[in-house]
Structure 1
Amino acid sequence: MAPATAAAVAGLPKIAIITGSTRPGRVNDSVAAWVAAELAGRTDATFEVVDIADFNLPLLDEAYPAAYQNYQGDHTKAWSAKISEFDGYVFVANEYNHTVSSALANALSYLNAEFNNKAAGIVSYGSMGGVRAAEHLRNLLAELQVAVVRNQVMFSLFTDFENFADFKPTEQNAGTLAPMIDQLIPWAQGFATIRTPQAAAV
């Protein structure tokens, strides 16, 4: 998908807005598109929607643990290259069976080092705001050495979706996005100095 902002500006953190579902008829992509549109006017980072459906990731089929980065599949190599581009992430996580979707968990399982020492925020949704999916996602990301900011965006299927399908967020819930991004961007900048220690010494 095309970047949500103008061309990337040198020196600004680059943030991926990652979809969390690949199901036919999903609403996840509309939530991700809304996030991108809301952030398009910011000048302190660049944002890009990354749709996991575009990478056609099968149930994890790599023979070696992700930490080895000994990738065999072209789909894995493409996924690795894309994730490596970013300084931070916004995960759009839907709750399914009281946890994060299997599609997102599978996508995360493919990689390791590409996520290390980066920051993330979570936009969740579900019958209870996707809170259980978000909590489980925080644990998955911790194992990948991704630091998740405290602030979180939560949408309810009952109040933020018309007929459980058309995403129309309430003003109150929509207003929680900017404070989360305000936390995410400094963390993304800070972790960049950890990944490149020489930059901190300049």
Structure 2
Amino acid sequence: MSKPKIAVIIGSTRDTRFGAKPAQWIFDLAKQRDDLDVELVDLKDFDLPLFNEAASNAWMPSQDPKAVAWQQKVSSFDGYIIVTPEYNRSIPGALKNAFDQAYVDWNKKPVGFVAYGTVGGARAVEHARTIAVELQMVPVRSGVHIGGGEFVATAFQGKEISEIEAAILPSAKDMLDQLTWWAYATKTAREESVAEAAE
């Protein structure tokens, strides 16, 4: 079996976003593993419109070429690491829209979260996990939460993520281990389902 392909998705599109820093950090950490292929994916590159299809692509094909391009990108991965801030106790609208623009493409794949904010983005992640369940994904237990002094230091005082690694590296390693296990398990199951359907 080929190695699972994992997307690290930057979930904020604001010009002044902080998310690119932790996204690069978790991407570099994941790339050190020899059991995953990892790609950094930026929502800004897809210029997604607000969801305006007749229905989810669970029911009918999407018509907007940008939505279709996003679905094809999402579909090419076996799992995801979503990097998100917390906006008003939830995820950014751009990230919710990215979830909504696809459905079948997310199905039966694991997802882990790297979040940041005053409480480490914990409330955003809890919301995102319920969305992931509805999309038939497998949210892993462990996540990375950059909050409090670590968030202030890296988002506003110029410190690098590497300078707060002592606080977040153990949870990052746990999250990657869990994501990898589920990526192999779900990839195997999906491939077996395809083989059975072809018989």
Normalising by structure 2, report the TM-score. 0.89
Which of 178, 181, 184 does residue 176 from structure 2 map onto?
181
* Per-residue CA distance 1:148-190 (angstroms, 9 max, x = gap): 1111110015323437334633122133211110111110111
User: What percentage of residue pairs aligned between the two structures are identical?
Assistant: 36
Aligned CA-pair RMSD = 1.9
- Whole-angstrom CA distance in 1 between matches of 2:103 and 2:2: 25
* Per-residue CA distance 1:70-89 (angstroms, 9 max, x = gap): 11111011101110111100
- Whole-angstrom CA distance in 2 between matches of 1:69 and 1:85: 19
1:60 is aligned to 51
Gaps of 5+ in 2: none
For the pair 1:196 / 2:191, whether they are aligned, the reply is yes
Correspondence 1:19-168 to 2 at 5 A: 19-156=10-147, 158-162=149-153, 164-165=155-156, 166=158, 168=160
Bigger shift: residues 178-187 or 166-175: 166-175
Contact 1:193 1:200 survives alignment (8 Å): no
Q: How many Å apart are 1:198 and its aligned residue? A: 5.2
- Whole-angstrom CA distance in 2 between matches of 1:23 and 1:153: 21
4+ residue segments displaced more than 6 Å: none
1:152/1:200 Cα in 2 relative to 1: closer, same or farther (>3 Å)? farther
* Per-residue CA distance 1:132-159 (angstroms, 9 max, x = gap): 0000000000000001111111001532
Normalising by structure 1, report the TM-score. 0.88
Contact 2:56 2:62 survives alignment (8 Å): no
- Whole-angstrom CA distance in 1 between matches of 2:195 and 2:159: 42
Match for 1:23: what amino acid?
Answer: R
Q: Which has the higher helix share?
A: 2
